[in-house]
Amino acid sequence: MSDDGARKTPDRLRRRASRLLSQLTMRSDRLINEGLARADGRKWHYAVLASLQEYGPGSQAELSRRSGIYRSDMVGVVKELAERDLVERVPDPDDRRRNVITISVRGRRRLRHLDRILDDLHDELLAPLSTAERDQFLQLLTRLLDHHTRAS
C-alpha cells in the first residue's frame, strides 16, 4: 500500500488489530510464497521437513498434527517430497497400513537451504523493525497464538 493509501485508510480501521493482522498476513503470504517458489519450494514442504528434523520420523497423521496441514493434503505433500527424494517412506512394522516418513540426507540439505531463504524473506518482511522489536513482536505473536490455540 502506498503512503497515500495508508493515509486514506480510516483511523478506526488502522486501529483494529484483526484488520492489521489480516493485511499483514496477506502481504506476508505473498512474499513468502513468491520467495519460496523462486527456489522451487513450498510452505508445506518446509513445514513437513522442519517437523521431521525436529521431532523425528512419523506417520502422515502425526505429521499432519505437528504441522497443521490437513490430513487429506498431507498425502500429496508427502508424495511430492518423496518424488524429490527429500523424505523416505517405509511401511510401519507395527501397522502395515501406514507409512513412517523420515527426512533424507537430501531433505536435510534442502531444509537448510530453505531456512536461509526464509531468513532473508523474514528480514524483508520485518525490515522496519529493530532486532529487539522483532524479538518482541515474535514473542507477542506467539503468546497470542498460544492463547487462542489453547482456547479453541
What integer pLDDT is reported at residue 1 of this predicted model? 47
pLDDT for the residue 117 = 97
The CATH number of whichever domain residue 116 belongs to comes to: 1.10.10.10
- Is 49 or 13 the better-scoring residue by pLDDT? 49
Cα distance between residue 57 and residue 80, in whole Å: 17
Average pLDDT over residues 116-139: 97
Q: What residues make up the domain containing 81?
A: 17-151
Q: Is residue 143 scored above 90 in pLDDT?
A: yes
Considering its fold, how many domains does the chain have in total? Answer: 1
Whether residue 4 is contained in a domain is answered as no
Q: Is residue 94 part of a domain?
A: yes
Domain membership flag for residue 8: no
Task: Answer whether residue 120 is part of any domain.
Answer: yes
Is residue 31 in a domain?
A: yes
The answer to whether 96 and 88 have CB atoms below 8 angstroms apart is no
Phi, psi (rounded to 5 degrees) for 88: -120, 135
Full-prediction pTM beyond 0.95?
Answer: no
Other Cβ atoms less than 10 A from the Cβ of 70: the count is 10
What pLDDT is attached to residue 57?
A: 96
Owner of C-alpha cell 516418513: 101
Distance CA 91, CA 95 (A): 8
Whether residue 11 is contained in a domain is answered as: no
In a domain, 6, yes or no: no
Per the domain annotation, does 30 fall within a domain? yes
